[in-house]
């Protein structure tokens, strides 16, 4: 039987882009969602050139509260059944709370919390009615602890993590599965867009490639895992921070988000992603 269609938000870059490739490699037709139509079309053409899947693109800004309903209605009009909903779109911003514009914080809440909630409210009832379906929510290891200098982002990911775990239990007898993906530092546009490319967490921490995160996420989803934490270091952090006090966690994260001296900033966005791509192209 052909794998079900997956709708992936935030699919034009980062983890979402590589989730699109991963689902396509495994035979899933796709609905790709992101704000810029040209970026989606370029990605669709790239995937189509490598696989035999069918792809629809829907250019929508999920910060607009009407976008979720518009996406759902368009999917219905196309006659598509969404078997897998991937709530991946999100963003963050580093800085002192009093220095970050309120609109920036609200933007994070709209995209990281409100958009997944709206989409799930629309696509979940048909899944329950069919007796099967899957929801993958991209949370973060940030959801396990407070994050000074990135506190609203951490809070949004804490919501996604708690909501996903609770929803998973609520849905136990419905045939619908919920998986929370909790990556650690990953080589995506997140760091540059969040004013974080020079921080210790990007420059000196163990940073994963988005390809690896996407592959582990897909495998966990297929296995039916409620929680997927890619990478041994990230798993250890989650375990360790569950036994630390909240104050100790917050102080550790403040160091994680400190800028390192410019002369020690040797890592550039894309280094790890390109290395992973090059290794993938090398014949086994």
How many CA within 13 A on the CB side of residue 191? 26
- The catalytically annotated residue of 23, 72, 153, 190 is 153
Contact (Cβ atoms closer than 8 angstroms) between residue 137 and residue 156: no
CA separation for the pair 264, 55 (Å, rounded): 43
Residue 218 bears catalytic tag:
no
Q: Residue 196: which of 95, 57, 60, 82 has the closest Cα?
A: 95
User: What is the Cα–Cα distance from 127 to 84, expressed in whole angstroms?
Assistant: 9
Calpha distance 269→259 (Å, rounded): 15
Pairing, β 82-87 against β 133-138: parallel
Which residue has 């999917």 as its token pair?
A: 75
Catalytic center residues: 153
């Amino acid at each position: 039987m052909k794998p079900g269609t997956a709708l992936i938000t935030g699919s034009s870059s980062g983890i979402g882009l590589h989730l699109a490739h991963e689902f396509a490699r495994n035979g899933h037709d796709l609905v790709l969602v992101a704000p810029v139509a040209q970026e989606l079309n370029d990605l669709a053409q790239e995937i189509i050139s490598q696989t035999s899947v069918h792809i629809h693109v829907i250019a929508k800004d999920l910060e607009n509260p009407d976008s979720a309903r518009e996406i759902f209605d368009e999917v219905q009009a196309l006659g598509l059944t969404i078997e897998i909903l991937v709530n991946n779109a999100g963003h963050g911003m580093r800085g002192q709370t009093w220095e970050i514009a309120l609109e920036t914080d609200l933007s994070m809440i709209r995209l990281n919390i409100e958009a997944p909630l709206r989409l799930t409210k629309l696509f979940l009832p048909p899944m329950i009615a069919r007796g099967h379906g899957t929801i993958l929510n991209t949370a973060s290891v940030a959801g396990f602890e407070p994050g000074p200098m990135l506190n609203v982002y951490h809070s949004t990911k804490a919501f996604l993590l708690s909501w996903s775990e609770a929803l998973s239990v609520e849905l136990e007898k419905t045939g619908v599965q919920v998986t929370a993906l909790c990556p650690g530092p990953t080589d995506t546009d997140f760091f540059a867009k969040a004013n974080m490319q020079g921080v210790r967490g990007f420059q000196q921490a163990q940073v994963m490639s988005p390809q690896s995160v996407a592959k582990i996420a897909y495998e966990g989803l297929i296995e039916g895992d409620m929680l997927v934490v890619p990478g041994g270091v990230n798993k250890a952090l989650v375990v360790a921070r569950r036994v630390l006090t909240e104050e100790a966690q917050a102080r550790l994260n403040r160091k994680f988000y400190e800028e390192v001296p410019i002369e020690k900033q040797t890592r550039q966005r894309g280094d790890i992603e390109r290395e992973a791509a090059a290794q993938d192209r090398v014949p086994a």
